[in-house]
């Protein structure tokens, strides 16, 4: 725990889902798209990289990916450890919007491969293994890009995925306590250990 400037303690999770980190999520989604479309994994790229990679040849198929929206359920489930070992598990479900842009001579064919391949349960295995599930997808949009004075074929599609986020917080339970309550009318001692026996 650390103190904020106001003096109130902050509680950060000690454990969370593997796919919760941005970089890990990008890698998982890249593996997923490569496995469903058959595009070489090195040609599935994160969109908006700090150092953009070299532009691929115009006749090569590739894909740029990004999670553009994360919508969460209204309520999170909180569960305290029953043995009082000092933790609380928080579970929340999120809907991720995965924006995929396919480039190259087979841009539309590859986007439709992703759309249709998601109907096969085995193709969703990478998602299942990482606590995610396929929800639905939008239409294919053909939007060629002008790159180096050449029109580069491009087709966009947005998928919606669901995932469960689990975080464990070190919130310590009060197992026993003693003290004195005093008011103008009464004076009362308490001992929770004695109350349990």
Percent of the chain with pLDDT over 90: 35
CB 18 within 8 A of CB 24: yes
Higher-confidence residue of 158 and 47: namely 158
Q: Which of 129, 4, 111, 11 has its CA nearest to residue 61?
A: 111
∠ Cα 117 123 128 (to 5°)? 135
Residue carrying the six token digits 């998601």: 118
pLDDT at 6: 59
Residue ranges per domain, the chain? 2-196
pLDDT at 104: 93
pLDDT at 72: 84
Is 0.75 surpassed by the pTM of this model?
no
Phi, psi (deg, nearest 5) at residue 42: -70, -15
Distance CA 167, CA 4 (A): 21
Q: Which of 95, 134, 140 has its CA nearest to residue 113?
A: 140
Q: What is the tens place of the pLDDT at every residue in 116-144?
A: 999 998 988 888 888 889 999 999 999 98
User: What DSSP character marks residue 122?
Assistant: G
For the chain, the straight-line distance linking the first and the last C-alpha, in angstroms and rounded, comes to 33
């Amino acid at each position: 725990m650390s103190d904020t400037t106001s003096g109130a303690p902050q509680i950060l999770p000690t454990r969370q889902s593997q796919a919760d980190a941005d970089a890990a999520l990008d890698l998982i989604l890249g593996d997923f798209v490569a496995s469903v479309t058959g595009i070489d994994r090195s040609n599935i790229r994160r969109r908006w990289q700090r150092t953009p990679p070299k532009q691929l040849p115009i006749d090569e198929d590739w894909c740029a990916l990004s999670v553009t929206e994360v919508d969460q359920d209204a309520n999170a489930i909180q569960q305290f450890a029953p043995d009082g070992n000092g933790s609380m598990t928080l579970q929340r479900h999120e809907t991720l919007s995965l924006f995929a842009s396919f480039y190259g001579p087979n841009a539309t064919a590859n986007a439709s491969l992703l759309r249709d391949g998601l109907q096969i349960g085995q193709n969703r295995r990478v998602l299942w293994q990482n606590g995610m599930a396929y929800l639905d997808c939008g239409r294919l949009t053909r939007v060629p890009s002008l790159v180096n004075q050449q029109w580069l074929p491009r087709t966009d599609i947005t998928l919606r995925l669901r995932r469960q986020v689990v975080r464990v917080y070190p919130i310590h339970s009060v197992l026993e306590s003693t003290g004195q309550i005093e008011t103008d009318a009464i004076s009362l001692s308490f001992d929770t250990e004695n109350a349990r026996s």
